[in-house]
Structure 1
Amino acid sequence: MGKKIILITGATSGIGKEAAKVLAKQGNKVIIHGRNKKKTQAVLQELKKETGNNEMDMVLADLESFADIKRMADQFKKKYDHLDVLINNAGNQYGGIRELNSEGHERTMTVNTFAPFLLTHLMLEPLSKSGEGRVVTVSSASHAQGGAPYLDDIELKDHYSYTKAYGVSKLYVIWLMRHFVKYCRDNNIRNITFNCVHPGSAKTNLGNTGNRPLSMKIVFALWRPMMTSVEKGAKPTIFAATADEMKGKNNQYIGPKGYEKVQEKYYSEKNEEILWDYCMKICAPYMSALEENK
């Protein structure tokens, strides 16, 4: 692909940080996203020193806040005239009790589903100015483990559980990225591709919260010794972001073993459309009229 401008969310630890390191070593201008300013600055300096790439940069946003995502996107567009690769890496697992963010949305769904949707929408303009724009979104093998989704209760007001919230949020983001392919085609945007990846069971801080259900704490403790390294977990993301063979490809799902298949048991174009319309509705106040109607 040559040297590119690459924005990675959730890049201050784990797979995002590893991907940022590798991509920066390749000579790309990597922009890492974090939530905490002090931590993000420290990671940025660490990565610059380790990679020898002083062109790296950082952006800040709380991905639990639509308003903050909008602010970050606006700041990016003021500083950069285009974006080559957007990596929606950030994700989280919360607790056994349903919690809302400050804007009234369920936290797991916000970070794992709504944030990638909104940020991708807001970044379509700079991506469309790239010679070859790519959107790489990190899903999870858990997308097949959330059970039947409730399209009349997307934010799980009446059906919340720890495993369902995470599983369906990672399923939904795959559906949304599929719809972006259609959305761009319908709006004559031809240069952006959309693909999803999963890291396998990698040793990261995902879901390391104090309110994780006890049963899940036990499961994670027993499973952790069998987890793979972040280096291996980051490879699908790096491949999707940079591999020449991914040029022009859409709707691929890539894991540590290569191309894989998405669980399609609950998929339909109607369900995809319902989800898309819901996301458009709740994110509309944070998108300009142009972005809503592109």
Structure 2
Amino acid sequence: MNILISGGTSGVGKAVAKSFAFGDNNITLLGRNEDRAQKAVNDLKDLTGNQNIDYPLGDLAVESENKKVAEEYVQDHDVLDVLVNSAGVIPKTAQDNITKNIQSHYWLTHNLVSLLKKSENPNVFLITGAPQIVKYGPINEWQFNALFKGVWLLTHKTLLVTLMANELAADNIKVNAVFPGEVKSELMKWTQKVTNEDVVAIKNIMDSKTSVTGQFFDNYGQLIPLNERKYSVKKARKALNKYL
């Protein structure tokens, strides 16, 4: 399979790459820092023996760079089987949340539809968090402080999954959200102390060959059904239209 992972040079994205690197999959890690990207590639090659791992660089939160990175990938590959949107930040501003945690995923996914359509089993995953917030957090536009920014991020990313699953259904492209569990990363002080560096959920989902789309999976790859009234296509369009 051809697998593309944004934010794949560290943290959760690198852990996802690791789960697929044992074997003959072709893996591409999207990142912004060349030293980090090169280290990630070397680490994975040394660990797994898979030499089919490379990286391009680009800031996916800049629409023109997002498009350029995608165009370069399309030129070099015949098909894309799995796209994992793992890149993201702990937002300091509302605009960070919008561009880096929502728009970047939407742009990259749509910029790669032409290759995803060529796969026999195309899958798009968005890395998310805190299932309880996704379930019970209110959907609103408040981003007054860190707490509200976090709730906005998780609910709106889930709305984005709902929207893209609907938009890409005609091309048989599945789009789902995945909670990776606690994984060592540089995002926050407490995640730097986590010892786990494995994410098995996405590979488990792929191995199950599920036909589910527009839904949420936990860190074991088990389905957590979403409230269809809360995360409806109509509500997703209404909430996200101003950003997309």
Do these two structures clear the TM 0.5 threshold for a shared fold by scoring above it? Answer: yes
2:142 equivalent to 1:161 = no
Q: Describe the SS at the equivalent of 1:195.
A: strand
Cα deviation for residue 129 of structure 1 reads 1.0
Cα deviation for residue 126 of structure 1 reads 0.6
2:4 equivalent to 1:7 = yes
Aligned position for 1:238:
203
- Return closer, same or farther for 1:49/1:7 CA change in 2, 3 Å cut-off: same
Aligned position for 1:260:
224
My pick for the range that moved more, 253-262 or 26-35, is 253-262
Q: Do 2:161 and 2:215's aligned partners in 1 also have CA atoms closer than 8 Å? A: no
Q: What are the ranges of 5 or more consecutive residues in structure 1 without an aligned counterpart?
A: 100-105, 209-219, 281-294
| Matched letter for residue 24 of structure 1 | A
Task: Please give the per-residue CA displacement for 1:189-232, whole angstroms capped at 9, x wherever unaligned.
Answer: 13x11111102233322245xxxxxxxxxxx59xx87x57232x
Q: Do 2:165 and 2:174's aligned partners in 1 also have CA atoms closer than 8 Å? A: yes
**Alignment length (residue pairs):** 242
- Return closer, same or farther for 1:50/1:18 CA change in 2, 3 Å cut-off: same
CA distance in structure 2 between the partners assigned to 1:193 and 1:269 by the alignment: 15
2:115 equivalent to 1:126 = yes
Cα deviation for residue 265 of structure 1 reads 7.7
Aligned position for 1:250:
213
Task: Please give the per-residue CA displacement for 1:59-111, whole angstroms capped at 9, x wherever unaligned.
Answer: 2112332222111111111111211100111221033xx36xxxxxx012322
Q: What are the ranges of 5 or more consecutive residues in structure 2 without an aligned counterpart?
A: none
Q: Describe the SS at the equivalent of 1:59.
A: coil
Q: Describe the SS at the equivalent of 2:56.
A: strand
CA distance in structure 1 between the partners assigned to 2:233 and 2:29 by the alignment: 34
- Return closer, same or farther for 1:230/1:260 CA change in 2, 3 Å cut-off: farther
CA distance in structure 2 between the partners assigned to 1:183 and 1:145 by the alignment: 23
My pick for the range that moved more, 173-182 or 138-147, is 138-147
TM-score (norm 1): 0.74
Aligned position for 1:229:
196
Q: How does 1:29-178 map to 2 (within 5 A)?
A: 29-95=26-92, 98=93, 106-141=95-130, 143-144=133-134, 147-150=137-140, 153=141, 159-178=143-162
- Return closer, same or farther for 1:149/1:201 CA change in 2, 3 Å cut-off: same
Cα deviation for residue 37 of structure 1 reads 1.5
CA distance in structure 2 between the partners assigned to 1:78 and 1:174 by the alignment: 31
- Higher Cα radius of gyration: 1
Aligned position for 1:205:
186
Cα deviation for residue 263 of structure 1 reads 6.0
Q: Do 2:10 and 2:36's aligned partners in 1 also have CA atoms closer than 8 Å? A: no
Q: How does 1:181-200 map to 2 (within 5 A)?
A: 181-185=165-169, 188-190=170-172, 192-200=173-181
| Matched letter for residue 59 of structure 1 | P
Cα deviation for residue 175 of structure 1 reads 1.5
Cα deviation for residue 266 of structure 1 reads 4.4
Cα deviation for residue 145 of structure 1 reads 8.3
CA distance in structure 2 between the partners assigned to 1:269 and 1:22 by the alignment: 32
Q: Describe the SS at the equivalent of 1:87.
A: strand
CA distance in structure 2 between the partners assigned to 1:46 and 1:229 by the alignment: 16
Cα deviation for residue 264 of structure 1 reads 6.4
Q: Describe the SS at the equivalent of 1:229.
A: coil
Q: Describe the SS at the equivalent of 1:278.
A: coil
| Matched letter for residue 113 of structure 2 | L
CA-based RMSD: 2.5
Q: Do 2:60 and 2:100's aligned partners in 1 also have CA atoms closer than 8 Å? A: yes
Q: Do 1:139 and 1:171's aligned partners in 2 also have CA atoms closer than 8 Å? A: no
| Matched letter for residue 73 of structure 1 | A
| Matched letter for residue 177 of structure 2 | C
Q: Describe the SS at the equivalent of 2:209.
A: helix
Q: Describe the SS at the equivalent of 1:82.
A: coil
Q: Describe the SS at the equivalent of 2:200.
A: helix
